[in-house]
Amino acid sequence: MDSITPVDACDFTVFGGTGDLALRKLLPALYLRDRDGQLPDGFRVIGVSRAEVDDDGYRALVAGALREHVVAEDLDAAVVERLLGRLHHVRLDVADVAAWHQLHDRLKDGAASDDVIRVFYLAVAPGLFGTICEHLDEAGLVTERSRVVLEKPMGTDLATAQQVNAAVGRVFEESSIFRIDHYLGKESVQNLLVTRFANTFLEPLWNSRWVDHVQITVSESIGVGDRGSYYDRSGALRDMVQNHLLQLLCLVAMEPPTYVDRETVRDEKLKVLQALRPMTPELVDRDTVAGQYAAGLCEGRPAASYADEVGHASSTETFVAMRTEVQNWRWAGVPFYLRTGKRMPERVSEIVVVFKEPPHAMFPHSEGPTEPNRLHIRVQPDEGMRLHMTAKEPGPGGIRLRPVSLDLSYAAAFGGRSPDAYERLLMDVVRGNTTLFMRRDEVEAAWTWVAPILERWSQPSHRPRKYPAGTHGPVAAVTLLERDGRSWQETE
């Protein structure tokens, strides 16, 4: 749980303040931080959008969103009122230079102090990032204590990511730029760092000598829904692999940083991205699988095909499976298998580290299987860890082997509510702690690595393979591992 030491007073400006992200994630996260006493007097939230609402209209909109997106037992009427009292709305089309004085006036008027922290959260289309930063600068709103938060997608390829980074970088120092990957704010993901680096037992085993391979799966049961027009231009590789899955891979594979609260974490993650085996056209054909869901049965209900959902035939992938390697001393030769998709059997994000078989079979006359040890790190839902091992079944007579597991369930061990990733990340922004955010060179290294895959998949001859909704993806994803004598670890 995040420390509940109050942050400093802040003017937290959300561009796109009436949008889905703001109302569903950001405002509920701020409410919960307020409830736990983390927002001091003088902390204001200024929603900026094109919506025709005044302050009261905005407060009513946010009150409705809190009722919808915060569980009833966490809603406290007095805190809701307190948060609503912090809210303001500025109606502004960010492209309209003449209108910017309204935001300027609002920020100057009633601020807690002259050097109050300013957060500019850009919950709008990335095409507006450059314009907003330019106008913030021209309007004289960027102070030494200002920070900007960028939401995904961070470009659609290396060139567009560089453009966005350059436009934002003209106005903000890198240390004031917070590129959000909300996976990094998840409790279980942070716990992965703690498990690796605040304990000693794993570190000697965490390498190619003892690890057979690593699997990272991020599956969703939902289809593309009403995000079709965005998604059809993006696809699973850009939407999930380039950011979330590669970030998870970095945290599994990185070397111990000197400290976990300094720039060194990002340095170590960058080294992993730079050590990923470069994809050649031959490797793309051999080691990657793109899929697209056809009609099927998902969670017991009929589900339409992707093409039907977006309303036309499409070559956008809704599923990716791939094999890669981290080419360094620690990981040489260890496959990392990544998999993500929509309309899979369930929503689950999990990292599985599969260890090697014992070097010598010591129980030749035993009954029962010996399975390799596996560490399952469950990112969502039911955050926790499970170590699968082999034990002796109790009883007289011969030795019978049985797989058993050591479980760490977050809910059981710590009780209480697991905070949403945004709660942690928004407070880190105010505190100016960039550890859990992506640095410019990381984002660009990730795009550099996926570029040959994007290129190969853009060929007209390339078509994603169909898989029925509600299944684990195309058969080729299974053969990708079977070829290596391995199989995907499905949820138990």
Residues that bind ligand NAD (CB under 6 A): 16-22, 49-51, 92-95, 123-126, 128, 151-153
Q: Strands 177-179 and 288-294, how do they pair? A: unpaired
**Do 335 and 215 contact (CB within 8 A), yes or no?**
no
Cis peptide before 153 (omega within 30 of 0): yes
In the complex, the smallest distance separating the C-beta of residue 405 from ligand NAD, rounded to whole angstroms, is 34
**Do 383 and 397 contact (CB within 8 A), yes or no?**
no
Alpha helices in 339-439 (DSSP H): 410-414, 421-431
Q: Select from 218, 232, 160 the least CA-distant residue to 450.
A: 160
Residue placing its CB nearer to ligand NAD in the complex, 185 or 474: 185
**Do 481 and 322 contact (CB within 8 A), yes or no?**
no
Residue 365: DSSP 8-state: T
Residue 137: DSSP 8-state: H
The residue nearest ligand NAD at its CB is 19
Q: What is the residue type of 405?
A: S
**Do 186 and 308 contact (CB within 8 A), yes or no?**
no
Residue placing its CB nearer to ligand NAD in the complex, 25 or 374: 25
Q: Provide the strand spans (E) within 154-244.
A: 177-179, 211-219
Token readout for 383 is 């955050």
User: Which of 244, 376, 388, 472 does the annotation list as catalytic?
Assistant: 244
231 φ/ψ angles, rounded to the nearest 5 degrees: -65, -35
Residue placing its CB nearer to ligand NAD in the complex, 49 or 314: 49
**Do 378 and 251 contact (CB within 8 A), yes or no?**
no
Token readout for 217 is 């799966």
In the complex, the smallest distance separating the C-beta of residue 134 from ligand NAD, rounded to whole angstroms, is 13
In the complex, the smallest distance separating the C-beta of residue 98 from ligand NAD, rounded to whole angstroms, is 13
**Do 340 and 319 contact (CB within 8 A), yes or no?**
yes
Residue placing its CB nearer to ligand NAD in the complex, 95 or 406: 95
Rounded to whole angstroms, the Cα distance separating 339 from 487 reads 12
- The percent helix, strand, coil of the chain (3-state, each to 5) is 40, 20, 40
Residue placing its CB nearer to ligand NAD in the complex, 88 or 374: 88
Alpha helices in 70-157 (DSSP H): 77-86, 101-108, 129-138
Residue placing its CB nearer to ligand NAD in the complex, 22 or 352: 22
In the complex, the smallest distance separating the C-beta of residue 24 from ligand NAD, rounded to whole angstroms, is 6
Name the strand (E) or helix (H) holding 241: none
In the complex, the smallest distance separating the C-beta of residue 17 from ligand NAD, rounded to whole angstroms, is 6
In the complex, the smallest distance separating the C-beta of residue 243 from ligand NAD, rounded to whole angstroms, is 10
Residue placing its CB nearer to ligand NAD in the complex, 92 or 119: 92
Rounded to whole angstroms, the Cα distance separating 483 from 212 reads 15
Active site residue 472: no
In the complex, the smallest distance separating the C-beta of residue 87 from ligand NAD, rounded to whole angstroms, is 14
Rounded to whole angstroms, the Cα distance separating 456 from 239 reads 17
Which residues are within 8 A (CB) of 78 and not within 5 positions of it... i.e. 6 or more apart? none
Residue placing its CB nearer to ligand NAD in the complex, 105 or 367: 105
In the complex, the smallest distance separating the C-beta of residue 259 from ligand NAD, rounded to whole angstroms, is 29
Q: First CA to last CA across the chain, in angstroms? A: 27
- Tokens 């000197």 sit on residue: 258
Point out the residues that are catalytic.
244
